[in-house]
Structures are given as C-alpha cells and as structure tokens.
Structure 1
Amino acid sequence: MLIDSHCHLDMLDLSRHDNTLDNVIAAAQAKQVEKMLCVCVDLNAFDSMYQTASRFDNVWFSAGTHPLHVEESPFDRERLAQLAADPRVVALGETGLDYYYSTDALEQQQASFAGHLELAGALDLPVIVHTRDAREDTIRLIREHGNTESAGVLHCFTESLDMAKAALDLGYMISFSGIISFRNAAELREVVKAVPLERLLVETDSPYLAPVPYRGKQNQPAYVAEVAACVAELKGISVEAVAEQTTANFHQLFKRTRAS
C-alpha cells in the first residue's frame, strides 16, 4: 500500500476524469495508492476543499495558508484551531516561506509561518512546510517556534542535502515528489539517496509536477507509484519496501491517521 502524503484534490481539472473525483480515487487505488492527504493552501478555500473530498473515507485533510496566499488569507489562530478540532484534519499547513516567487510580503510570510508552528506545537500536530529559496529563515523559524515532538515535513523537497540534514535533526521528515524523476534533478536524486528511508515520504503535489513518464499531463495521486519506484531504484531496494516504510512513516508523523 502507498499513501500520497500531499495532494490538492480540490484543484484537479475533473474534466480529464469524466468530471468525477470518484475516477481519480479509483485510479489511485488501482495503483495500490490506498490513502491520501489533501492539503489546504488558503483558509478561505478550506470549506470547499473539505466538501469536495470528505465523502471519501480514505482522504485526510490539513488546514493552513501557503506563503504565497498570506495577503488574502492571513494567519488566523482562532480559525485554524477551530478547523483542527476535526479529527480528519491531521496537520497544519501548508505553510512556510517562498522567496522565489514573492519577496513583497516577507514579514507576513514569516509571521504566518511562526504562527502555524506555535499553534501546531500547542495542538501536538505536525506542520507541512513549503520552502523555496529560504533555507536559512525556514530552519531558523522552525528552531525558534517549532515543536520537535510534533515536528512536521518539508514537502516537495528541492533544496540541499545540508538543509535536509538540518530538518532531520529537528525531527522533520523529508517528502519527495515527481521532481526526482526529472532529467535535470541529478543533485536532488543524491539527496534522496542520503535521506534515511525511515525519515522519507512520497507525494504527488498533484495536480502539479507529474513524474516521468507523465510529464506534461495533469498529475494525480495514482502517480505517486512512479515516485516510489524512483526512490526504490535510487536506493537499490524494492518498491514494496519503499511502500511499506513510507506508509509507516506517514502514520508515525500524522498521528491522528492511526485511528482510521
């Protein structure tokens, strides 16, 4: 069994799946992708996201604000805490820092990230972290505001091995997406080799970043099987071993999922 640890089911163009999410879920299950975590990027859109996928009992959710949405969806501790009371909300995020696409709201990004980290620590929930071109500040804020007991994951990891090691030291897991299959990702593949399997997750980040051989198509949870196969090849182990360990890792990190 595989778990897609990070997808955006509410952002899929369902016209490519006969206009039904049921087909997306069925396609995933046909590839032994039995469960998935649907990740929020904008608190204003949480309710519609939840309504889209909550009828599927193999889908969990997160609640949070992506760093590129902090201006229209600022950090709201009370609202986040309210959403986190739902047992199917298993993490806060995705939050974090993105200095690649925007340098206009850095203070807001940092304040929002710190707020997510502090609330997650208080609620004993993990944090789903987006980080791009913000290595030093990401690790610094995790150290200053995070809780190593609940920790979290650096999702869709594309940064350096040094940053991965720093995150691992803080109790975080590292999640890899289809990017590791891209031709120009040789350096990132070396990071995959170095990260211990027991600290690693796999994801699609769908509908984005479809792995080889599906590049150019809309990504979907079924394709996390290709990510797992790439990890297996890089580590010289079976896909079954990757599936078993990453599933265990997922449940270790996202503690609320153990009850279902």
Structure 2
Amino acid sequence: MLIDTHCHLDASEFDADRPDVIVQAAARGVRAIVIPAIARSNFDTVRDLAHRFDGGTYALGIHPIFVRHAQDSDLDALRDAIVAALPDPRFVAIGEIGLDFFIPEISQGAERDKQERFYAAQLKLAAEFDLPVLLHVRRSQDILLKYLRRIPVRGGIGHAFNGSEQQARAFIDMGFALGVGGAMTWTRALNIRRLCSEFDLEHYVLETDAPDIPPAWLPDTDRRNTPGQVQGVAQALADLRGIPVDDVIKVTGANALRVLPRLAGIKLS
C-alpha cells in the first residue's frame, strides 16, 4: 500500500489546486496521506482537510520552528484537541513535534530551551494517550533520543531522517520507522542514501514533506513537491536497494500501519 506519511497538504502552496493534487495522488496509487499540524492555528484545518477525501488522516502537534511563536496555553489547547480527536479514526499521531537545531536563531539560549520544553511536554501527551509521534529531526538526533529515554512513547516516525547509523539504530530500537523522501533521490545525498540501503526494509516508511523537499526529477521551473511524488520515491528506493518497487510499496505500507496503528481504523482501498 502506497502511503505518504508526511505531507503538509494544508500549506498555502496548494490553495490554487488542492483538489487536483489529491486526485493526482490517488491516480498514482497513493492510498493514504498523513497531514501533520504545525501550530495551534491549524489544528482544525488539518482535521477538516483530512475528512475531505478518502485516505486523509492527520496528526496534532506544535512544530519546533513554530514553538518560538507559541504560548504555554497552546499546550493546553493541544491536549484538548487530542481528547476531542481520540474517537476520530483519521487522527493517527502527535506531530509534527521535535527539535530543530539547524536554524541558528532558534538553536541557542532561551529559544532552544523553549523548543526542548515544548518537545518534552508533547512527548508526555503522547505517552499519556499512548499515541505515536511524528518527529522533526534536524541536527538534533542525540537530544531527541535523550528525551525519548526519559519519556518513552510507543514509537512513530523519524521524519526526513539524516543521522548516523548508530543514531538510526537507536530510533529503530525505540520503535520508530525512518522517513524516506525526496532527499534520498539526490545522488549527492550520500549519507541518506547509505542509510536507506543499510537496514532491513521493515524499518522505513515513505513520505514527501510536500510542498517541501522536492525529489531530483522535478524541473527547476516548478519545485513544488506533491503527495503524488511518493510513487517516485518508492521507485527510487527500490532502485537503490535493487528490489522490485512493488516490494517497497508493500513493505513500507505495512510499516506505516505498524507504527501508526490508527491508520488501520480507516478504509484504505
């Protein structure tokens, strides 16, 4: 089953043609799309969008880049939103949460402290409600792992993972799958491509992060990524590993259902 486990389908880049983008993804075999929230302001947006098409699902969380604009009351709002969403089978995870130490202005001092505080608080919510998490992992692998050891959760997905083999193994051992997307399709992405060939296929899920992280084949005149491109990601991973693309689609789809078990609660044809 072809699943895009990380797609910001609510982004403004899709405002002009969102229904067409969804139809095109389905035509390419995409059976489910996970739409993560990034801030309190779009909790309702991702929920409502997920209910507009077959295979639409969503996650609720506060993205580390948007933590700087968040208030402590947003964590209370997140908890209320989670409680309200629990009966909804299309609600599949806490996310997108995590830490971003790539952007200098939010990677030090009070901004970094706030990121870590919000990350820990959201892990506690995931643990309280026994939900998986969608982790934003950018130059923050070891600190993310430190908190996961203190606040164990039921696993989830390391989104756009680009760490070391040892760090990858640590996430896998904690019940996480590694998200594979457009970055893997670039031949110069040596570390990501090496990681994508090292572990058993059962440790990977497919994603786009659309409209971001475009794959190598998109033209320079239109770099907007779309959920339909996850089909090409599957083919690129198959080529890299020297296996049939159908095997990649079958196994990564099963992996997504394993690490996001609430996906099984909706009809995926």
TM-score for both structures, normalised by structure 2: 0.90
In the TM superposition, what is the alpha-carbon distance from 1:53 to its structure 2 partner?
Answer: 4.1
Kindly state the Cα deviation for residue 235 of structure 1 after the two structures are TM-superposed.
Answer: 1.5
Pick one of 249, 254, 257 that aligns with 1:248: 254
**How many residue pairs align between the two structures?**
255
Aligned amino acid, residue 183 of structure 1 = T
Cα distance, 1:141 vs. partner?
Answer: 0.8
- Residue among 199, 209, 213 paired with 2:217: 213
* 2:263 is the counterpart of 1:257: yes
Shift of 1:12: 4.7
**Which segments of 5 or more consecutive residues in structure 1 lack a partner in the other structure?**
none
Partner of 1:90: 92
Give the secondary structure class of the aligned counterpart of 1:13. Answer: helix
Contact (CA 8 Å) 2:175, 2:259: kept in 1 or not? no
Q: Which runs of 4+ in 1 moved over 6 A?
A: none
Letter in 1 for 2:131: L
Give the counterpart of 2:179 among 152, 158, 175: 175
The residue type paired with residue 2 of structure 1 is L
Offset, 1:229:
0.9
Q: Which residue of 2 aligns with 1:9?
A: 9
Q: What is the RMSD of the two structures over their aligned residues, measured on CA atoms?
A: 1.6
CA contact (8 A) 1:156 1:175 kept: yes
**Structure 1 CA distance, aligned partners of 2:155 and 2:12?**
29
Identify which of 129, 132, 140 aligns with 1:134.
140
**1:78 Cα deviation from its structure 2 partner:** 3.1
Residue identity in the other structure for 1:37:
V
Matches within 5 A, 1:1-260: 1-14=1-14, 19-74=16-71, 76-85=74-83, 86=85, 87=88, 88-101=90-103, 102-104=106-108, 105-147=111-153, 150-214=154-218, 216=220, 217-260=223-266
Distance of 1:248 and 1:181 partners within structure 2: 22
* 1:36 CA drift (Å): 0.4
Amino-acid identity (%): 31
Using the alignment, how far apart are the partners of 1:141 and 1:127 within structure 2? 13
TM-fit CA distance, 1:146: 2.3
- The amino acid of 2:7's aligned partner reads C
The alpha carbon displacement at 1:127 in A equals 0.6
| Distance across 2 between alignment mates of 1:252 and 1:128 | 14
Go from structure 1 to structure 2 and tell me whether the alpha carbon gap of 1:94 and 1:74 turns closer, same or farther (over 3 Å shift): farther
Cα distance between partner residues in 2 of 1:9 and 1:193: 29
